[in-house]
Amino acid sequence: MAHKFARFFISLPGRLVRGLLTLVSWIGAFFKKIGSEIADIVQTFVHGDWKTRVSYVVMGFGSFARGQYLRGILFFLFQLVFNLYILFFGGSYLAKLGTLGTVQTTTKNRVTTYGDNSFLILLYGILTIFFIIAFIYTWRVNIKQNKISEQILKSGKKLQSAKDDLGAMADSQFHKTLLALPMLGIFMFTVLPIIFMVLVAFTNYDYSHQPPGKLFTWVGLSNFKTMLSVGGANFGSTFSQVLLWTLIWAFFATFLNYFLGMMVAIMINKRGIKLKKMWRTILVMTIAIPQFVSLLYVSKMFAADGLINTYLLKWGWIDKALPFWTDGTWARITIIVINIWIGIPYLMLIATGILMNIPADLYESARIDGANAMQTYAKITLPYMLFVTGPYLLTSFIGNINNFNVIFLLSGGGPLSMELAGNAGYTDLLITWLYKMTVNDTNYKLAAVIGIIVFIITAVINLTVYNLIPSVRNEEDFQ
């Protein structure tokens, strides 16, 4: 694996150049496609009949005039809804999107006069832009439909009727009918919030700029400069410390659980071990209990007045309570150790299923050749496990970068420190720090910056490691 990483980083400049060239070619192909679409639109207008030309202004007119009433009505209704939306609602928000509002909310003689709402301007402005893109696409489909209809009629064939269109929606085009509502839901509840969050990172939206009482506006890259600045106890220094701890935590939480879980599975599956089902059941019980209950209980056990410190003091093993949650280093080590207790059962179950599928003749051949237990593990068990679970390791590492539950329920991100900005603690991950900024400090602008950076980090790790996993590159070539 090490030599694969070395080869990857040596070839990285060439990969970057090829990636840049690919991006340039994609951009060129995109503009070429736009040019061909514009040329086709012009040619269709020049060579089309009067019904097609009217459809450039009144969507669906050509389809309706040619007897395709369902298509014509749907196109016309979409244009009508779009025009009404822009005229009475979306247009006003889109016009203010460049400033995010200029009229402040005022209160005089106990009477509040509401002005612009920057939050709604940004939200509905984005929605209006997408609605415009959807309208342009639908308008283009309307033009194409007229062109195709003309060609069909010139060839002497009949056009599809409304009954044929409805039948197609339930037959050949059923996949589009089935996916229409889920795609709309994904756009409304996933795509739109993500774009909104990204744009918030370029504003000054925080506790002192809360709509509707206050306006917020565009500030460019100043939030990124604040988060990535270098200095004393500022956001840049805090970000670097939280990022480093996030990566350290993800590494130990992933690979300690992986190897220890594998070892437990190997020991339980070893010949001669009795009561295998009982040992598996005991381990599985730790994940059967909801983490909300188990982690909160364990957190109290390790408190200064908790069960662990109480008995250690009672037995005289320590003179004062151990600072499990009050010292940064102790808290980090404690969380890693507790996470082993949580993670081993998952890996034990996964490893058990994989180990059972390793051909027994491989181990038999190794014993005949005189291989000891460590050699058998290093040459057969571990390579097989890594090949099969490579994608799982990657997703587990990314998941641990965003592992909110363990950190928040055990330590709440603490202990806090004056050396860290933004109410961050020594055990905060980027995701828990983002949560604090959003819920506790209402510092939405920097929280959005953290969200973007987390996405970039996880995307880079995914794209880099994914290309190095043997099971992904050639899933049929296990050696």
pLDDT band at 158 (very low <50, low <70, confident <90, very high): confident
**Torsion-angle region of 412 (φ positive above 0: left; ψ -120 to 50: alpha; else: beta):** left
pLDDT digits (tens, 9 = 90+) for 215-263: 999 999 999 998 988 765 588 889 999 999 999 999 999 999 999 999 9
Superfamily per CATH, domain 235-473: MetI-like (1.10.3720.10)
pLDDT band at 126 (very low <50, low <70, confident <90, very high): very high
Residue boundaries of the structural domains of the chain? 48-220, 235-473
User: Peptide bond preceding 415: is omega within 30 degrees of 0, i.e. cis?
Assistant: yes
pLDDT band at 6 (very low <50, low <70, confident <90, very high): low
> What is the reported pTM?
0.84
Segment among 135-144, 219-228, 325-334, 345-354 with least mean pLDDT: 345-354
| Mean pLDDT value across residues 330-346 | 92
Q: What's the pLDDT at 8?
A: 54
Q: What's the pLDDT at 477?
A: 53
Indicate if the pLDDT at residue 472 is higher than 80: no
Q: What's the pLDDT at 432?
A: 94
Q: What's the pLDDT at 471?
A: 65
Indicate if the pLDDT at residue 429 is higher than 60: yes
| Mean pLDDT value across residues 383-392 | 86
Burial of 220 (0-12, 13-18, 19+ CB in 10 A): exposed
Q: What's the pLDDT at 267?
A: 87
Report the alpha-carbon distance of residue 196 to residue 208 in Å, rounded.
19
Report the alpha-carbon distance of residue 269 to residue 354 in Å, rounded.
11
- The answer to whether 21 and 29 have CB atoms below 8 angstroms apart is no
pLDDT digits (tens, 9 = 90+) for 23-36: 888 889 889 999 99
- The answer to whether 324 and 419 have CB atoms below 8 angstroms apart is no
What percent of the chain is predicted at pLDDT more than 90? Answer: 48
Name residues whose C-beta falls within 8 Å of residue 283's C-beta, 6 or more positions apart in sequence.
264, 344, 345, 348
Q: What's the pLDDT at 440?
A: 85
pLDDT band at 73 (very low <50, low <70, confident <90, very high): very high
